[in-house]
Amino acid sequence: MSYSVLYQDIGVKSYKEAWDFQENVFRKIINRKTGLQESNPAAGPAQPGVLILVEHPHVYTLGKSGSENNLLIDHIQLQARDAEFFRTNRGGDVTYHGPGQIVAYPIFDLEEIGIGLREYIGRLEEAVIVTLGSFGISASRIKGATGVWLNAEQGKRPMKICAIGVRASKYVTMHGFAFNVNTDLTYFDYINPCGYTDKGVTSLEKELGGKQDIEHVKLLVKQNLREVFDLKWIN
């Protein structure tokens, strides 16, 4: 059975604004779910999920198990580059968000979908892999390294094009993935992306040799998320 989801493209928002927005939706879904289970375990329907797409101004975020040593500049240098820094409650290490990057925050009830967290992450990766395939780009996974990678199977230096970091409570997810489309990759020079020192980063723009229509890419991402999760848009 399809999972009902409200789709919201909220444009360009600061990281804190988007985080607060997520938290509000996340709590509503959990509270609704908990209330139904306590009053009547067979009650329904559940609160619909929400898929948020957003672009952020320059910001570095660090996962709850990450090391601040992987941020290679201090706070004064951050200000000089017009960037913010946040410690978050997602998994993973340090990453960068900025203009030209599609950031997706699916707030889904995995219990309603009928999958676990590992499969959830795998389906997020699959949606991006299929999207890249639409541009003739072959992408894949790397064992033990969450995200979507290029060059992973050619014996070359792996290049990450999409980072993933999620949180889940009571099977409800938040945070998500960051897909480099027209991203300024020089901002990754100031971190060890996701804690790796032996891997690089890339973007759709870099791989195709020119700026891409980010709205078109968003549409493909939305369509492919719908397919891999069997979503039903309710708006």
Q: Which helix (H) or strand (E) holds 52?
A: strand 49-55
Whole-number pLDDT of residue 11: 96
Residue spans of alpha helices (H) in 40-83: 75-80
Whole-number pLDDT of residue 36: 62
162 is catalytic: no
In degrees, rounded to 5, the angle at the alpha carbon of residue 95 between the alpha carbons of residues 100 and 104 is 55
Token digits for 186? 């020089």
Q: Which helix (H) or strand (E) holds 103?
A: strand 101-107
DSSP tag of 171: T
pLDDT tens digits along 68-89? 888 888 888 888 889 999 999 8
**CATH homologous superfamily, domain 3-233:** Bira Bifunctional Protein; Domain 2 (3.30.930.10)
Contacts 24+ apart (CB under 8 A), 129-132: 130/224, 130/227, 130/228, 131/179, 131/217, 131/220, 131/221, 131/224, 132/161, 132/204
Active-site annotation holder among 5, 194, 214, 220: 194
Whole-number pLDDT of residue 130: 98
Distance separating alpha carbons of residues 187 and 95, to the nearest angstrom: 10
| Contact yes or no for 84/29 (Cβ under 8 A) | no
Positions in the chain short of pLDDT 70: 36-46, 154-155, 193-197
Please report, in angstroms and rounded to a whole number, the separation of the first and last CA atoms in the chain.
Answer: 18
- The CA–CA distances, whole Å, from 125 to 48, 146, 179, 183, 185 equal 22, 8, 10, 19, 21
Distance separating alpha carbons of residues 131 and 204, to the nearest angstrom: 11
